[in-house]
Structure 1
């Protein structure tokens, strides 16, 4: 097991290294001049050259890349080109919004998606099971932005049919006011959870329908167990790895989906910061933020792979023989 974890960690680091190269290259292809953004439209050519020299923008791209990567290896994300402030401190502050938002969205989507998917699978021939299946398909097709606007019109405080939840901003005091902070994340998290949780409903329903005609469930039913009890005791454990993979994929999607949601609900998270920094061409800051988001997705994949090995002994035996 240890050797497998070490191999997966090595692949994780390799993927991270490739990501740094791709992110750096793509951002340099984008149109626009960073020096012009810093100096303003009235900056003279001499002033632009001074800005490029001061920020190292006139150095060869390979030197700029190695300088950035060496800083990452030391845990230094660099300084913003526009403000000069350390990027790491600002990113950590923004993660206080983005991470709780993503975790709340994952919790809501799993808490609703799993039971609804099981119910829809067990009652696939009934009206309620078919209704859940239809609604999950419809919800999965809804863009996150549109889902957010619908929820604002339904539950938004001061603008919705039900005056229930705030629609804009985050408390200035942050998590020093936990009630207000959590309340401001509920509507954005619901927006993500409705769209991403629909995929969990659909897959869980399919997994249940696949497990119901299996021999081991028929044997359990022959011994007097109800279909629901047999499914929960024997069926779901057999498909748990697949369901876990789908949940992990949706969690990774929620991390990137937070960019749209934070902008819509005016939340001061990593996503809204990334949008603003792309517009201002703060390249060093943007590449560090994109790398952080990709790293979170890669970490989710690594944790799921390790969890598969811990849950299923067959995978451990197969790995040992290999």
Structure 2
């Protein structure tokens, strides 16, 4: 079967750490991972809107397996600030190198695409921009303001970098009032050195906690990949760390190896194990859990947002 991952063009890696990594073994995907390649007319229309507005999507850059489904439903997650990242994470297929200057007209183009697609909920993410004084925080805020100006009814979810060593950056994004603030932990702390070497686990936990301190009403969200060699008890501890930071929503999905130069898939977690994580997460107090092999941060984000709101309303009604 031809899959989305097979059909998405892979960009050349522009970072020696990735280019010179030895090839990793590639495990055969189980049946529950495979998805059909996109072919629908609506998919093509969504692609054309993205191209016409000269935008980048994380759907394409990350080779997301859900791209066919999402684009057929006119959903796309926009990746702002270019397509070159300043970090070289071992799991990520986004090109690494020296980014281009920010495009001051990008916020308006994103807003226009949101309007053309008729999006009720939009996810805006970015590459890491360690080269910028604020890590790109003001650009995130500008995109939020542009969407609000053109389609005020659209709810906005941001998926941000960690803004390490960027004083005031988080405050800038939170002040722009996105409806959901998402920052992914990506993996358990024991795997950070090999999987996410440019980041620090407890800095990310603190970032999410700080969002709630700045605006207790803002929904917070984080996600991880499994299949990178983590132990089950490490995932459960990570859940506790997120709840200690008052995070509302957690996503768990299967890691898929973009190329042989990336971190190997150590195993494919079964659908039953994902369902177990979802159940445990709810008992730990998350308002919502999304846990399945094909779960990704922005997959079904609009539906998840509605469930988040409903869960909070039910919680308030019960007096908890």
Superposed pair shares fold, TM > 0.5: no
Which structure has greater helix proportion?
1
The structure showing larger relative contact order (alpha-carbon pairs under 8 Å, at least 6 residues apart) is 1
Pair member with larger Rg:
1
TM (norm. structure 2) is 0.22
Q: Which has the higher strand share?
A: 2
TM-score (norm 1): 0.21
